[in-house]
Amino acid sequence: MIIHPYIPKRKPRKPNAKQRAQKASWQALLAKYDITPEVRKSTVVVTTSSSTVVVDPSRRTDHIPSVDTGQGIAAKKPVMQYTGDAMLGIGQLHKSNAVPIFKAQDAIDISKMRRG
């Protein structure tokens, strides 16, 4: 089991008074009627079956050759990149919301929106 390093490990919480009273009541009932709870053990069932799929011979397509052109299935999308000079930069409003900045006033407005 891999534990992510940023997930803090938590100690199990202690039962509160109500939970302790309920557990004591349950133990008293078990003792009164002389019942021992069964401990279930997980059982692993391993089945080995060599099942084969039976296909009707009239439905087989082994005789039909595949056509291989040697090319891919679609053209690769070109990388989108801004090549102009009107954009000053990229601002960030909230978390991963990137906004292009074209004027200095836009940057001032974005900074004021973030800080209140």
How far is the CA of 96 from the CAs of 90, 92, 99, 109, 112, in angstroms?
11, 7, 9, 18, 18
In a domain, 16, yes or no: no
Q: What is the pLDDT of residues 32-46, one digit of tens each?
A: 988 887 877 777 776
Q: In this structure, is residue 107 part of a structural domain? A: yes
In a domain, 1, yes or no: no
**In which residue are the tokens 């940057």 written?**
107
Question: Is 90 part of any domain?
Answer: yes
d(CA 21, CA 98): 55
Number of structural domains (the chain) is 1
Distance CA 22, CA 27 (A): 9
Helices (H) and strands (E) in the chain, counts: 2, 2
* Residue 102 counted as domain residue: yes
Q: Count other Cβ atoms within 10 Å, centred on residue 99.
A: 13
- Does 25 map to a domain? no
Joined tokens for residue 45: 């069932």
- Name the percent of the chain lying above pLDDT 70: 84
pLDDT tens, residue by residue, 52-73: 777 787 887 777 777 777 777 7
The boundaries of the domain holding residue 104 are 84-116
- What predicted TM-score, i.e. pTM, was given to this entire model? 0.30
Tokens of residue 80, six digits: 């989108």
Question: Is residue 75 one of the residues assigned to a domain?
Answer: no
User: 110 lies in a domain?
Assistant: yes
